[in-house]
Structure 1
């Protein structure tokens, strides 16, 4: 009986603070200082353009830094993208640990368990999952179906608002 209760327990993992680190914890690099500001990263859809530029910079001129701090970049950029989506769709999506949603919803059964550990956005009401951290990881690995993060954000927001 306790297994049933444990299976259904969703574990929250709020990444809002990680998203804010995109402008609060910025390197001394001149481009970063000028572009990764609170004014530019205001959680609007248009602000994703700065994230796209930053991601491309990381993958080209700062590839060594990206490799060294890969998990941190995936977390921060994924959290920022997720917060933009969350704020623009204004639905009941919240951040949860992957495993707790995997055990709660059949929507993740097709996702391989090696993606375990990623935090994701999940709506209990509609039983839907949005995985911005996975999208960021795939983008950095060159395995993304999206040419940029703006395309991903616009698609997800459009799909959610159409529901």
Structure 2
């Protein structure tokens, strides 16, 4: 189990336990899990999902196609699987391609240790179950997938990822 230590703005260093392996597994399951696949997996068949920023355009298309179905008819389990696996894929794409920062996945509890002011004012919700942090900044791939499902193309995962990487 790997830990990293981060000095926070108003406190002593905090030891954080990243959950990178777990989210890497979920990202892989996004389009590879056959026994318990995401909803409409066939829409991703034969797509080049290689964790490149360009591959996120395909993920945007997948979610656009899902929005054409009646998302209200999805079970909570199906919706959760879509958000977790898609969000993990988006986050892993950022982690693997953004060379300006060392991103780590953390759960809500560890994010709260890093930035108590922000996360104490936030509800422990599904949107914050796993977040990416470089120790000072945070980005929320799961939340972004939820927004895309609600709003459509205006919440493009491709543009979200490239803009997350450009923030310094």
The TM-score bracket by the shorter chain reads: 0.7 to 0.9
- Indicate the residue corresponding to 2:106 in structure 1: 96
Q: Distance in 1 between matches of 2:123 and 2:76?
A: 23
TM normalised by structure 1 equals 0.75
After superposition, the Cα gap between the structure-2 partners of 1:9 and 1:150, relative to the gap in structure 1 and judged at 3 Å, is: same
**Which ranges of structure 1 fall in alignment gaps of 5 or more residues?**
1-6
How far has the Cα of 1:66 moved from its partner? 6.7
* TM-align CA RMSD: 3.0
- Indicate the residue corresponding to 2:148 in structure 1: 139
Is 1:151 the counterpart of 2:159? The answer is yes
- Indicate the residue corresponding to 2:52 in structure 1: 44
After superposition, the Cα gap between the structure-2 partners of 1:122 and 1:21, relative to the gap in structure 1 and judged at 3 Å, is: same
How far has the Cα of 1:43 moved from its partner? 0.4
How far has the Cα of 1:74 moved from its partner? 0.7
Three-state SS of the structure 1 residue aligned to 2:16 is: coil
TM normalised by structure 2 equals 0.73
After superposition, the Cα gap between the structure-2 partners of 1:28 and 1:71, relative to the gap in structure 1 and judged at 3 Å, is: closer
Q: Does the CA contact (< 8 Å) of 2:108 and 2:130 recur in 1?
A: yes
Q: Distance in 1 between matches of 2:141 and 2:109?
A: 16
After superposition, the Cα gap between the structure-2 partners of 1:28 and 1:43, relative to the gap in structure 1 and judged at 3 Å, is: closer
